Structure 1
C-alpha cells in the first residue's frame, strides 16, 4: 500500500485487520508506523493528544518486520502501534512526566510492567499521550485534559467546549482520531471510562490486581490501574490480555494473577446476550438531561430486545452514602513520594513537597490553575495511619463493594449494573476496586458544558460488575456493540457533526 490510500485505509482499522495485512505482506509494520505518524502530523495540531513521539518507533517496527519474516509473529499485537499515557514509565528515549513540567526531563530507569508486557507482545510503543496533569489530582479548578507540559487536549468530535474526558484525555482523543491502533490509559476514578465514553471509544477499567501499577506515576494504590482504550470491544479485549500478570513489585497482582487471563478474545461472544441479567440503578439516572436519558433508555430497550433479562429498577444500599476523597488525599503523598524517590538525580523534584516548591518557583508556566489539591495532600503525614484515612478506606470497601455492587448483584442474580458513561458507576467501581467497561451508545447533539463534564457529543453506556468479572462484561459489551455499531470517526477535515 502506498501514500494516500494507506492513510485512508488505517482509519477505523482494527487490530485483526492490521495484523492480517502484515501477515499477507500487503503492508509492513514500518509502513504502518509511518502512516500513523503522518496522520498525527496532519491532524494532531487540532487535537493536541500526542505529547511526544518515540524516536525509535520506526526502527522498532523494522526489527519486528525482520523477526516476522524469520520466526513468524509473536501474536496479535506484533507490529501494532500503541500510544501510552504520559504517566507510564518507558526505559527509552521518551519522557514520563504526568504532564508536569517538573518532570519534563525525566527518563525512567526501567520500563513499567505495562510497557514491558507490550514490548514482549511485539507492540510498537509509538509515543506518549497528553493527559490532565498529575492525573487530575493537582487543582480543583484545572480543566480536564490540560497539562503544563502539553497544553489542552481537544475532543476531536467538536471544539474546546466539548468535554474530552479525563485524565487519560490524550489516550481517548488519540484513539478516536485514529492516531494509533489503540492506547493505554490509567484510572483512579473515571479516568479511563470518562475519555473513552466522551470520544466514542471502548474503555476497560480492570479489577485492581489484574494489571500491575509498578512504574506508573500514582495517585492512590487502593484505586489506581492501567487499562486499554480502543475503538472496538475486540481490540480492547486483545490489549487487556497482553497486560495481565503477576508482578513482585506490585503485591496485589500476586493474588490477582489467580484470576487473570492472557487471552480475553474467547469472550467476544455475540450470542451471550440472552443469558445476561442486567440491573438498572434508576437512582443514579436522576440528574441526566432528557437527551442523554433517551440514549440510555434506547440502550436498555435494545438489550431487552436481544433477550437480556432487565431488572428495572434496582436499588443499591449505598445510594444515600456521602462519599469523601480521603483515600486519594492521603495515599497520593505516600505513593508519589515513593515513586519520586527513585527518579534520576537529574530530575529537579524527588518528593511532593519539592513538586509544590518547583511549581511556585515556575508559577507562570506551572500554575495556570493552581495546586490546591497538591498542597492539601502534602499536609497529610504520608504514613497512612490517620483515622480519617483508615475510616474512608473501610467505608469504600464496605459501602461501594460489599453493601453496594456486590449486594445488588447478589440480590437479583445480576451480571452487571448499567450506567451512562462515567456518571456515578465508574466512581462506585473505582472505590470498590471492581471492573467497569464502556462502549459507544449514542451522540447527544444538544447539551451544556462545564469544567467537569459535558452533556453534548459522544456518549457511552458503562457496565459495572463484581471483582474479576471482565469476561462477562466483555461478552455483554461485545453483543451490544455488534447489535448497534454506534461509533463513527470524527471529521477532522470537516465540520463537527
Structure 2
C-alpha cells in the first residue's frame, strides 16, 4: 500500500474523511492511530482526558490495515466504523488489557467478565479501541456537591482545551475533551443526569444523549437503571449518528429497557435523517423562563437570538414564550427527589455490578468506602469526601419512600415536559447551554447539543435540542441542519498565549 499521510488532514477528521482516505490509499489505520497516540502523549499531561491507552492499539490498527487490503482483493464488506479510533469512558467495560475503574484506584485490578455490549458492537463494526477516557470519578455520585467536575484520582483534573480555567463539566469530561482536542476520532460517554450534554456543551463538541434503553447499558458501571444511557460524543452530528447506528439496539443483557426502546429505532437506521433542510417544517418550542432570562444580556443570550433567527429562516416554526409546569422543582434535583432516587438506585446497582466481576479488590460499596478512607492521599478523600457513598450505604428499608419519589418524578414529567410538547405539537424544545438538562434526565428523554459559539471569555456553549422518547430522528434532522447552517465549531488553539509557548503539537 502506497500512502502519504501529508495528503490527509488529521485535525478535525471525520469518519467520512477517514474512510475516503482509506479507500484512496492516502491513509492507513496505523498512521491514524499513531497520530492520535502522539497527540495523547503530547497533550494528555496537560488535559488529563485519557486514563489509559490501549497497549494493543497499534496491533489492532495493523490488523485493520490487513483486513482492508484483503477486502480489496476479495470484495468483502467492512464494518461501518472500520479502522476508526474510539475512546470509551472508563466506566464502559472492556475485556482486554485495559481496566474499567470509574477513575478510581479502588477498582484498579478488577477484571470484567466480558466486553460491555456497546464495546462488542464497536468491535463488530471494526472500530479501534484506542483507550479509556477520563471522567468525574464515580460519576460524582461519590460526592455530588464536593467532587470537582472532570476530576478523578487516576487521571487528575481534566482541563477545558479552550480556556484552562473553564469548567470542563462532567462526568464524561474526558470523552468530550478528547474529541475537542483531536486526541481521537470519536468517543463514547454515559449520561445519568448531565454527563453527555454538559461536557459536550462546555468543550465545543456534539453530544447525543439517546432515549434511555435505546442503547444497552450492560457491562457499564451503573448508577440508575431509570436514567442511565450511553451515547456518542463527537465533533460532528454525522459522526454521532454513525456511532449511534453501530451501538443502538436490543440486548438480552439489558432486556427490559432495550426491548421497550428498540421499537423507536427506524428501519434503515439514523443516517437517513442527516438532512441539510431537516429543520424545515419543524415546530420548535422556546421556554424563556428560566433558560433564557437567566442569561440576561450576555454574549450567549445574543447568540441564542441570532440562532433562533437562523432556524426561522431555514423554515422552522418557533413557538415562543412557553412554560413548563413545576420547572423550579424539576431543575433542583434535591427538591425533586432525583438525587435521593439516584443514590438509592446506585446502592443496589453497584453491589450487583461488583459481584459480577471476574475478580476485584472490592466487592461492596462498604469496601469502596473503606478503601477511600485508607487511601486519602490517592483519592483526596479529605478534600472531596464521599458523602454520597456514605448516604447510599446507610439507606435501609426506605423502598416505599423511594417508590413515592419515582412516582412524583413521573408526574413532574407528565405535567411538565410531556404536556408542553404534546399540547403545542412540538418536534423539539430548543434551549441555550445546559440549564434544561434535568428536564431530560428525570424522564429518560433524548437530546442533542450542537456547538453554537464562544462567550466573551472564549468558553464554548451549545444549542440543546430536546424531545420526547424515541424522537432521535427529528432531533438529528434539526441538529444536523442547525450545524450545517452555522458551522460554529472551531478547534482549540494550543499556541495561544495561555498555553505553553514551547508545546509542540504533532
TM range (shorter): over 0.9
Q: Which residue of 2 aligns with 1:306?
A: 314
- Cα offsets for 1:325-380 (capped at 9, x unmatched): 221011010001110112233x2211111100111111121114110111111111
Say yes or no: does 1:476 pair with 2:478: yes
Q: Which residue of 1 aligns with 2:240?
A: 236
Say yes or no: does 1:57 pair with 2:57: yes
- Work out the CA distance in 1 between the residues paired with 2:117 and 2:192: 18
Q: Report the aligned-residue RMSD.
A: 1.6
Residue segments in structure 1 that go unaligned for 5+ positions in a row: 447-455
Whether the 8 Å CA contact 1:43–1:492 is kept in 2: the answer is: no
- Work out the CA distance in 2 between the residues paired with 1:427 and 1:110: 32
Q: Which residue of 1 aligns with 2:301?
A: 293
- Work out the CA distance in 2 between the residues paired with 1:284 and 1:338: 39
CA drift at 1:292: 2.1
Out of 399, 406, 419, which is 1:386 matched to?
399
- Cα offsets for 1:279-338 (capped at 9, x unmatched): 001112232242222222222121112221000011112324342222101101000111
CA drift at 1:393: 1.2
Out of 153, 158, 161, which is 2:163 matched to?
158
Question: 2:462 aligns to what SS in structure 1?
Answer: strand
- Work out the CA distance in 1 between the residues paired with 2:153 and 2:46: 18
CA drift at 1:2: 5.0
CA drift at 1:24: 1.5
CA drift at 1:496: 5.3
CA drift at 1:77: 0.6
Q: Which residue of 2 aligns with 1:450?
A: none
Whether the 8 Å CA contact 2:149–2:169 is kept in 1: the answer is: yes
Q: Which residue of 1 aligns with 2:448?
A: 437
Whether the 8 Å CA contact 2:110–2:361 is kept in 1: the answer is: no
Stretches of 4+ aligned residues off by more than 6 angstroms = none
CA drift at 1:73: 4.5
- Cα offsets for 1:31-70 (capped at 9, x unmatched): 1111111111122222110110001111111112222222
- Work out the CA distance in 1 between the residues paired with 2:341 and 2:484: 38
Q: Which residue of 1 aligns with 2:69?
A: 69
Whether the 8 Å CA contact 1:90–1:110 is kept in 2: the answer is: yes
- Work out the CA distance in 2 between the residues paired with 1:441 and 1:45: 28
Counterparts of residues 42-441 of structure 1 (less than 5 Å):
42-71=42-71, 72-139=76-143, 140-159=145-164, 161-251=165-255, 252-261=257-266, 263-285=269-291, 286-289=293-296, 290-321=298-329, 322-324=335-337, 325-345=339-359, 347-366=360-379, 367=381, 368-381=383-396, 386-400=399-413, 402-423=414-435, 425-441=436-452
Whether the 8 Å CA contact 1:103–1:348 is kept in 2: the answer is: yes
Counterparts of residues 443-482 of structure 1 (less than 5 Å):
443-446=454-457, 457-482=459-484
Tell me the TM-score normalized by structure 1.
0.93
- Work out the CA distance in 2 between the residues paired with 1:104 and 1:265: 38
Whether the 8 Å CA contact 2:278–2:480 is kept in 1: the answer is: no
CA drift at 1:386: 1.6
- With over 3 angstroms needed to count, the CA separation of the structure-2 counterparts of 1:202 and 1:162, relative to structure 1, is same
- Work out the CA distance in 2 between the residues paired with 1:255 and 1:394: 19
Tell me the TM-score normalized by structure 2.
0.92
Whether the 8 Å CA contact 1:16–1:76 is kept in 2: the answer is: no
Question: 1:275 aligns to what SS in structure 2?
Answer: coil
Whether the 8 Å CA contact 2:79–2:124 is kept in 1: the answer is: no
Out of 486, 489, 495, which is 2:491 matched to?
489
- Work out the CA distance in 1 between the residues paired with 2:64 and 2:362: 37
- Work out the CA distance in 1 between the residues paired with 2:489 and 2:348: 40
- Work out the CA distance in 2 between the residues paired with 1:206 and 1:426: 13
- Cα offsets for 1:447-486 (capped at 9, x unmatched): xxxxxxxxx6000010110101001000001001000000
Question: 2:189 aligns to what SS in structure 1?
Answer: strand
Whether the 8 Å CA contact 2:216–2:251 is kept in 1: the answer is: yes
CA drift at 1:263: 2.6
Question: 2:275 aligns to what SS in structure 1?
Answer: coil
How many residues matched?
480
